[in-house]
Amino acid sequence: MAVAGFKTSVEAAIPALRRYARALTRNVETADDLVQDTLVRALRSEHLFHGGEVRSWLYTILTNLNRNRLRSLARRPSLSPIDDNDAPDMAGPEAGGRDIERALATLVEDQRAALLLVVLEGLSYREVAEVQGVPIGTVMSRLARARVQIKSYLDGERPALRRVK
């Protein structure tokens, strides 16, 4: 792929990467940090990219970076300062927006990523399987579990958050 084509594809993907990262982390700054790191890595390892979908590749990098980030936060999430997802949102989303945001926060990371890649980013199951490095069947069971969990959260069961504030 021509260099110019590669850069153009990366550039075109930035708004969608921000959207995905925002929904993954539910924090503007953390999300943009992730996107920034993703772009740095993508440009640095351009030589490793042998054709295919640039967009999926970028989602893969971002998904992995976020997994690393959570792993290092997981040591003691209760004091984690950058993951304060209950902080008031200046954009003032309507109550429904807050609910879905909280519901997403209760998901296991891999389920959240799978669901967002499908419903928000419009990736096919096959693409999500590649991004997450798992068989399609695993993607489908992650989706199914995510949907059950969101429903039970919104129905008022509200189980204890997995990642406490």
Does residue 6 belong to the site contacting other proteins (CB under 8 A)?
Answer: no
Residue with tokens 């069971």: 141
Among 53, 99, 109, 110, binds other proteins (CB under 8 A): 99
DSSP class of 161: P
- Compute the distance between CA of residue 25 and CA of residue 83 in angstroms, rounded to an integer: 8
CB distance 46 to 6 below 8 Å = yes
Half-sphere exposure of 102 (CA within 13 A, CB side): 23
CA distances from 60 to 33, 65, 68 (A): 16, 9, 12
Least Å from the CB of residue 57 to other proteins: 15
Least Å from the CB of residue 129 to other proteins: 12
Does residue 18 belong to the site contacting other proteins (CB under 8 A)?
Answer: yes
Least Å from the CB of residue 133 to other proteins: 18
CA distances from 87 to 90, 117, 133 (A): 9, 25, 33
Positions that interact with other proteins (CB under 8 A): 7, 10-11, 14-16, 18-19, 22-23, 27, 29-30, 32-33, 35-37, 39-40, 43-44, 65, 68-69, 72-73, 75-82, 84, 87, 93, 96-97, 99-101, 104, 115-116, 118-120, 124-125, 140, 143-144, 147, 150-151, 154
